[in-house]
Amino acid sequence: MTRPRAVAGAALVAVVTCLTAWALAYPAAPLGATVVRAVALGAAVTTLGLAVVPALDTGRYRAELRRRAAAPLVVAAAVWLVAELARVLTSTASAAGTPVLTVGWHTAADFLATTSAGRAALLTIAAAALVVALAVLAPVPGPAGAVVAGAAAVGLVGHSVSGHLAGDPVGSVAVAGHTLAAALWCGALAALSLTVEHRGQWSRVLPRFSQLSLWCVIALLAAGVTAAAIQLPSAGALFSTGYGRVLTLKVVCTAVLLTLAWRHRSVWVPAARGHRSTAALSRRRAVLELAVMAVALAAAATLAVTG
């Protein structure tokens, strides 16, 4: 499978999931805001992954992986920045009760300056803009890679300070931890599928990714269960509310993803380590896992805008 086809397939899966999640949450989640949030989240996750992916290779090969990640990083960060700017418009329109196309700059500026959601958006936009600047000015980042990864992480959790659990310190920390763990897991695999070319590279990076993903899954589950327990009034809300139904979809996707990841850890990783898996086969397996991740991320994006 070629990379353009893989990207197009992942985008199609995300769009279909957005529509499904919107239908499950209807009328609590506006469709436009759901799609914009999904694009922003997907781009931010990919940006973080591309920033950290060189660390998954051994020392003398990291420079090559940095070079391959440079161009996709610029694209992903630019898409993230544009999507976050569009999100300001959809959020302002929702707060003001007006159509998106009628939102003026003064109204948007007032939203950014006077609301917690607006200030969180400013933080995220600043983080995305910094990543774009560094990616363009330092195309082979080297030491700047840590700054890019840090800025991407800050941008990813920026909106959690004004989300559903903004008033709960434990809930806010849980949402931030859940977001970062999921982003690192999904983003690193997306970056590998975009940058790794040869069987030898997969043999080096996949075992390291497997170890990273294990810790990400542990953090993701612990933080996710904590956040859900705080947010939902009862187990029945999983089916009686729009938020609960979308959360149920996300839980099902996560269960499928964990099953697939465990099988890959048992079969794919040993095969790649032993050079028994071709680069094409490894990429197909990565794309399959990414397709399920796209469903989960689209569901998460819908949750973020569900009232």
User: Which pLDDT tens digit goes with each residue over 126-137?
Assistant: 999 999 999 988
Give the pLDDT confidence of 154-178 residue by residue, as tens digits.
999 887 766 656 677 788 888 889 9
Domain boundaries, the chain: 10-304
At residue 195, the pLDDT reads 92
160-163 contacts: CB < 8 A, separation 24 or more?
160/120, 161/116, 161/120, 162/115, 162/116, 162/117, 162/119, 162/120, 163/304
At residue 58, the pLDDT reads 82
Q: Which of 34, 299, 44 is nearest to 157 (CA)?
A: 44
Percentage of residues of the chain with pLDDT beyond 90: 35
**Residue for token pair 């940006």:** 47
Percentage of residues of the chain with pLDDT beyond 70: 86
At residue 25, the pLDDT reads 62
Q: Is pTM, for the whole model, over 0.85?
A: yes
**Confidence band, pLDDT 50/70/90 cuts, at residue 202:** very high
